[in-house]
Chain A
Amino acid sequence: MGAPRLELRGIRKAYPAVVANDGIDLAVAPGEVHAVIGENGAGKSTLMKIIYGMVRPDAGDMLWEGREVLVRSPADAQRLGIGMVFQHFALFDTLTVAQNIALASPARGGVEQLSEKIAAVSQRYGLPLEPDRPVYSMSVGERQRVEIVRALMQAPGLLIMDEPTAVLIPQAVEKLFATLRQLAAEGCSILYISHKLEEIRSVCDGATVLRGGKVTGVVNPRLESTATMARMMIGAELPEFHHRDEVAVTETRLEVTGLSLRSDDPFGVDLLDIDLTVHAGEIVGIAGVAGNGQAELLAALSGETMADRAAIRIAGTDAGHLSAAARRALGLAFVPEDRLGRGAVPELSLTENALLTASRQGMVAGGLIRYARVRAFAERCIAAFDVRCSGREAAASSLSGGNLQKFIIGREILQQPRVLIAAQPTWGVDVGATLAIHRALIDLRAAGAAILVISEELDELFAIADRIGVIAGGRLTPLRRRRDTNRDEIGIAMTGATFGTTADGGTRAAQA
C-alpha cells in the first residue's frame, strides 16, 4: 500500500482555556472509511476544522498523498480535494438545489449545465435530488443530500462527514451507508465523525479514538466491541443503565387537546389538532425528523407563543393563554433545544444563569436579588449534576456543550417541577453526560414529575420513555407504550405522509 491519502503528524492546537488537540497522529488510506470518535470536547471538531483549513494548528504537519501541505482556508482544502459535510447545513432556504450548489462551485457556466451534473452525480450515488426544487420545501434528510452532492461535485479524494446520522431516520441511515460504501469502493476516503459506536462498527474500516485532545487508540472497529471502544473513549467502563418499571398512571399533569396553530414563519410548520397527555410519574417521548413541528409545539407549550385557553392544561389549570412566566408559576420547567442564547445567556456567569429561570426559589425579595441564595443554588446545581467548570462565576459560554446542558437541566430539575419539558436533552452531548442526564430524568420521574421529551434520537426515547408518539408534518400520532412498539414502526411513522416530506426525504417525488 502506498502513502496514505491524508496523514497528520503531531497536530497541536491550544486555545486560551483548553488544549483541543495535543499531538494527534492520524492516517487515512485511499478508499478507507475512517472513524474519528470521541466524546464532545475530545477535540474532534477542532481536528476536522484544521484539516478543512478553518483553523490553523499551532504545531504539526499535514501530508496529502505523502506530500507536506499547508491548508490555509477551505478553498485550499477543496483545491486539494477535501470535501466536508457539516452537521449544521449551510444552505439558503429560498434558493433551489442547483442555485445553492452553484454558489459553492468555482466553475463557470449556467445553472442549467450544473443541473445536469447534479442529476448525474446524484443518480450515480443513489442520492435522488431535484435540482430545481427550493430548499425550504425539503426535509432535513434531503438537505443533507444536497450538502453531500455539493461536496461530491468537487470530486473529493477525502470526504469529511460530521455526525451525519444525527438528523436521519433509521431507514435513511442505511441508504447513507450504502452511498458511503460505494464512494469508498471508488477510492474516495471518508473521515466519519461520530460517537455512535454501533454505526461505526457497521460502516468503518478503521477508527481513531480521541479523549481530552489526545489519541487513545487506533483500532479496527469490526474487531472491537462497543464496550472496548467506549472504554477508550470515556476512559472508564460504560455504566449499566436500567429502565425502571412503569409506574401506575395517576393524575394528569399536562394535557393538550385539539391544539392547532398556524405558524407565522413562512417556512414554519402549522400544528394540526394535537392531542397529548402526560401523567405524573411518566416520561412521554415525541420522535420526529427535525422541522416537522417540534419547534412550534415547544413554543406553544412553553408559552413563547400563545394558544387557545383550554388547548393546554398544566396541572389542571387552563394555561394556553398564559405567558411563559405564568406557566412556570404553575410548576412548568423547560429545557430548550438551544443551550447558548436561549437556555443560558452566554456572557453571564452560571450564578446569573441560575437566576434566569430559578428566581422563584426564594431568590428575589422586595424586588431585590438575594445573591447569597442564587450562589448557593448555582453551587448546588454544579455539584449535584457534576458540571465541569471553573466555578459558579464561569461564563456560560466557557462551558462545553455537555456541561452547560447538565447545568441547564439541573437548574430546571432542582426547581422540583410538576411538569418538565425537555427538547433534545442530549443533542451533541457526550456519552457520560448523556447517561447522567437520562438518570436525572428517570429520578425526576420517580419523584412524581410528568416529563415530556422531544428528541430526534430514537435510542434516547427507547431508553427512557414510557410512551412514545411521532410528530410529522405538524400532526402527532397517538402515543404508544414503549413495549408495544418498535424502532421500525416509529421510523415509518416519522416519514409521515405529508407534503414535501416523504419516507427517506424525497425519493417518492424524485422517482415520480
Chain B
Amino acid sequence: MRLRLERRPQPSALMVYASPLIAVALTALIALAVFAAAGHEPWSALVIFVTAPVADLYGVGELLIKAAPLVLIGVGLAVGFRANVWNIGAEGQLALGVISGGFLALHFGVGGSPVLLPAMVLAGAVSGALWAAIPALLRTRFNANEILVSLMLNYVAGLWLTYLVFGPWRDPAGFNFPQSAPLAPAALFPILLEDTRLNISVLFALVAVATGWVFMARSFVGFQLRVTGLAEDAARYAGFSTARAVWIGMLAGGCTAGIAGVGEIAGPLGQIFPTASPGYGYAAIIVAFVGRLHPLGILLAGLLMSFLYLAGDSAQMTLGLSSAVAGLFQGTMLFLLLAIDVFVHYRVRGTPAVVPAPAARPVATPVAAEAAT
C-alpha cells in the first residue's frame, strides 16, 4: 500500500470543533501510559494529576491568573494570525508593558493617585503597540519579514528590562537580588477573591474575548483581515489594504501583550523581575492556534494551558514526577491536534501495491525513428 492524502472538498464542521476535544482525550490516554511507566497506578495518578491543582479555591485563583495573560495575548495575536500577519514578538511587547507600567509605578506610586493604575494599563498598551509597530513599519515599508523582526526584538526588549532591573531599578533594600522595590499599593490591582491572588486584571482577558469575538465575527474590518489572510489577491481585488491588515494585526497583538505585562507586575508579582513573564508571549501563540484563532476557543485553550502548567507543578509534589511532564503533555497535545487536523482536512487514500506492469511500448511511431536519427 502506498498512502496518499486527498483534500476534502468541505471539511466536516463538527470535526473542526471536535478535534481539540479528541486531542485532549488522546493526551489523557498517553498520560495514563506515562504514569504507568513511572510506576504509578495510572488511573488514580491521572485523577490526582487532574484534580490536585484545582482542589481548593487558591488553586482555582492560580489557574485563572495564569490563564488570563495567555488568553489576552492569544486573542490579540489571533487577530493578526487570521490575516497571515505573524507576530512572534508578544514576549518582547509584554516586556515593554512591564517597563512602561513599571516606570509609572516606581515613579508615581508613592502619591497613591487613583489614576495611576489606569495610566499604567494605558502605558502598557501603547508601549506594547509601539514595539509591535517597528516590525509593522519595516514590513509595510521595506517588506521585511515580520516574523524575524518581531522575534529578534524580543531579545532587545528582554535585555532592556534586565538592564533596568539589574541597574537603575534595583531595590536598595533587596540584598542585591535583581528585583525592583515592591510596588506601592496604589500600583497594584485589587484582589477579586479573598484568600487568593486573583485580581481584577483577569477581567481584561474576558473583555478581550468579547471584543475579539465581535471584531472577528461581526465587524467588516475583521472580515477584511480574514480575506487578506485567506487570499491576498482577492483582498487586493476587493480594495482591502494589505498594509492596513499588517498594522491592525501587529498592533492588536502588541497592545494586548503590553497590557498583560502590566497585569503581571501589578498583579501576582507585585514587583519587577527580569523574568516577569515565564514565556507567556510564546505560549500564547500555541493557545491561539489550539483555540482555532477563535476567541472562545482561545479562552478554553488558555485555561487548559494554564492548567497543564499548574498540574506539572503539583505532579512534582504529589506524584514525584518531574515538572517537565507539563511540557511533555503540552507538546503531545499540540502534536495530536495538528495530526487530527490533517485528517479533518484530508482523507487518506491507499493505492494497491499489486498492479500488472504496463505492456512494453507497443507502438513505434515514425516520430521516434525520425527523432533518433
Contact = CB atoms under 8 A, between A and B. Distances in A.
Contacts of B355: 70, 72
A304 B227 CA distance: 16
A56 B220 contact: no
A351 to B, nearest CB: 11
Interface string A393-419: 001011000000000000000000000
A256 interface: no
Given A72-B355, A124-B370, A157 B363 contact: yes
A439 B241 CA distance: 34
B118 to A, nearest CB: 25
Interface of A: 5, 15-17, 30, 56, 64-65, 67-72, 76, 79-81, 117, 120-121, 124, 152-153, 155-157, 186-188, 302-304, 323-328, 334, 336, 338, 341-348, 352, 355-357, 359, 364, 367-369, 395, 397-398
29 contacts: A16-B8, A16-B9, A17-B10, A65-B359, A65-B362, A70-B355, A70-B358, A72-B351, A76-B358, A80-B359, A117-B372, A155-B365, A155-B371, A157-B362, A157-B365, A186-B366, A187-B366, A188-B365, A341-B233, A342-B233, A343-B237, A346-B231, A355-B220, A356-B234, A356-B238, A357-B238, A368-B220, A369-B220, A398-B10
A188 B367 contact: yes
Contact of B234 (A80, A117, A342, A398): A342
B356 interface: yes
A364 B218 CA distance: 10
A17 B239 CA distance: 33
B114 to A, nearest CB: 32
A112 to B, nearest CB: 15
Contact of B373 (A120, A342, A348): A120
Contacts of A30: 363
A436 to B, nearest CB: 23
B25 to A, nearest CB: 27
Interface string B207-225: 0000000100011110100
Interface string B349-361: 0010001101101
A440 B370 CA distance: 52
A355 B223 contact: yes
A155 B363 CA distance: 9
A76 to B, nearest CB: 5
Given A80-B358, A324-B239, A344 B234 contact: yes
A500 B227 CA distance: 38
B70 to A, nearest CB: 27
- Tell which of A65, A80, A153 has the most Cβ of chain B within 10 Å: A80
A345 B236 CA distance: 12
Contacts of A16: 8-9
A68 B356 contact: yes
A65 B365 CA distance: 14
Nearest to B360: A79
Given A56-B351, A325-B240, A369-B223, 6 more contacts: A30-B363, A65-B359, A65-B363, A68-B356, A76-B358, A356-B227
